[in-house]
Amino acid sequence: MQEIRIRGEMIRLGQLLKLGGVVDSGADGKELLAAGAVIVNGVVETRRGRQLHDSDVVEVGEWEFRISAE
Percent of the chain with pLDDT over 70: 100
Rounded Cα–Cα distance for residues 49 and 1 (Å): 22
For range 34-62, the mean pLDDT: 95
Q: Domain 2-69, what architecture?
A: Roll (3.10)
Rounded Cα–Cα distance for residues 37 and 55 (Å): 20
C-alpha 9 chain-centroid distance:
15
pLDDT score recorded for residue 70: 79
In which band, very low, low, confident or very high, does the pLDDT at 69 lie, cut at 50, 70 and 90?
confident
Task: Give yes or no for residue 28 having a pLDDT over 90.
Answer: no
Give 7-19 as a 3 state SS string. CCCCEEHHHHHHH
- Going by C-alpha positions, the residue among 46, 56, 60, 54 that lies closest to residue 17 is 60
